[in-house]
């Protein structure tokens, strides 16, 4: 089988690829090796798939359905492996191989085309939040994960550089960076977080109704993890005349349901929306940038 990377993956990785990166060029050969090594039977490549990895639906030699995932080093697949091993299937997809080829994960098969986004919005938020709560555990000793301070520090540098090149975003960037400094001064807890949690990262499963996939794990306070969920379906929020009020109610409802400080959740939601909006503008996605920065302005 020829492992053709989906267009969505090619486009997304092209936005972040460093000069000289040839991971995509080598991907078909790497996928062939990974399949042969494990004696897997390939069913299909998942399309549209993710933005940072190739996802292949396979069956093991004994017929067990599984997922083979290949990701470049910049997507931190080894951190994902470590987090999934620590969660051991509690609220997240389960590793079928704890130790394997670098950048290759063999995972239990969920229902890849059925995410929590298929539910009505209120129910989707409730189920997603319940899944996220199960992931918030103490990190393992000597954990190999970035901290929230480290990750947002890198992001803050890129935001400052963008604000200099695009002065129109500078006021929101300044507010977001000030919020970050205040939030990092006294974090209320230290937990292993999913890192990139949203409704599309929660898939239907057999062991449990809903399980999280695709973490980019980080260690820090729970409000940081919940912040990305606040802006889910941002296009729908922007299209509503009451979008700003709906967003504020969502912050309040999610904070209360997961025992997170409402102002801290609002602050991290602001920072993460501005960071995503600035990054979208930098890589040539002006429509996404406009939506995200308008959303951030409501906070």
For 86, the enclosing helix (H) or strand (E) is helix 77-87
pLDDT (mean) for 92-100: 89
SS3 for 293?
Answer: helix
CA–CA gap between residue 283 and residue 235 (Å, rounded): 19
Pair of tokens at residue 299: 């906070």
Do 216 and 69 reside in the same domain of the chain? no
DSSP secondary-structure letter at 91?
A: S
- What per-residue confidence (pLDDT) applies to 271? 98
Do 140 and 253 reside in the same domain of the chain? yes
Beta bridge partners of 193: 218
CA atoms within 13 A on the CB side of 155: 22
End-to-end Cα, the chain, rounded Å: 49
- What per-residue confidence (pLDDT) applies to 1? 66
Pick from 85, 109, 133: which residue ends a domain?
109
User: What CATH number did the domain enclosing 52 receive?
Assistant: 3.30.200.20
Burial 57-73 (b: 16+ CB within 10 A, else e): bbebeeeeebbbbbbbe
Whether 98 has a pLDDT exceeding 80, the answer reads: no
Do 161 and 50 reside in the same domain of the chain? no
Instruction: Look at the chain and count its residues.
Output: 299
- What per-residue confidence (pLDDT) applies to 129? 94
pTM over 0.85: yes
Whether 206 has a pLDDT exceeding 70, the answer reads: yes
Domain of 155, in residue numbers: 115-297
Whether 17 has a pLDDT exceeding 80, the answer reads: no
Pick from 109, 137, 165: which residue ends a domain?
109
Instruction: Please choose, from the candidates 200, 297, 210, the residue with its C-alpha nearest in 3D space to the C-alpha of residue 248.
Output: 297
Provide the domain count of the chain: 2
**1 part of a folded domain:** no
- Grade residue 13 by pLDDT with cuts at 50, 70 and 90: confident
pLDDT (mean) for 227-256: 93
Edge-first strand listing for the sheet containing 146-147: 146-147, 218-220, 191-193
Pick from 93, 109, 125: which residue ends a domain?
109
Do 40 and 96 reside in the same domain of the chain? yes
Do 98 and 178 reside in the same domain of the chain? no
Whether 99 has a pLDDT exceeding 80, the answer reads: no
- In 166-221, alpha helices (H): 170-185
């Amino acid at each position: 089988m020829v492992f053709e990377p989906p267009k969505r993956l090619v486009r997304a990785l092209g936005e972040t690829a460093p000069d000289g990166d040839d991971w995509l060029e080598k991907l078909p050969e790497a996928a062939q090796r990974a399949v042969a090594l494990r004696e897997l039977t390939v069913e299909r490549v998942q399309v549209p798939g993710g933005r940072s990895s190739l996802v292949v639906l396979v069956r093991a030699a004994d017929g067990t359905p599984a997922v083979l995932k290949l990701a470049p080093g910049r997507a931190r697949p080894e951190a994902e492996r470590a987090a999934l091993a620590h969660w051991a299937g509690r609220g997240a997809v389960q590793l079928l191989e704890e130790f394997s080829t670098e950048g290759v994960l063999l995972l239990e098969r969920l229902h890849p085309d059925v995410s929590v986004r298929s539910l009505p919005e209120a129910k989707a938020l409730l189920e997603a939040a319940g899944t996220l709560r199960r992931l918030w555990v103490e990190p393992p000793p000597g954990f190999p994960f970035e901290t929230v301070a480290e990750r947002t520090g890198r992001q803050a540098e890129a935001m400052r550089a963008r604000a200099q090149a695009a002065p129109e975003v500078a006021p929101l960037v300044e507010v977001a960076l000030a919020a970050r400094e205040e939030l990092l001064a006294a974090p209320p807890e230290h937990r292993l977080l999913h890192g990139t949690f949203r409704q599309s990262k929660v898939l239907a499963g057999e062991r449990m109704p809903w399980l999280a996939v695709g973490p980019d794990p980080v260690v820090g306070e729970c409000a940081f993890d919940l912040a990305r969920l606040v802006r889910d379906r941002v296009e729908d929020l922007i299209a509503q005349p009451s979008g700003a009020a709906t967003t504020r109610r969502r912050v309040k409802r999610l904070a209360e349901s997961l025992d997170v400080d409402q102002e801290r959740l609002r602050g991290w939601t602001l920072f993460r929306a501005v960071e995503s909006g600035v990054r979208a503008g930098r890589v040539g996605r002006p429509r996404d940038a406009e939506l995200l920065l308008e959303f951030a302005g409501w906070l």
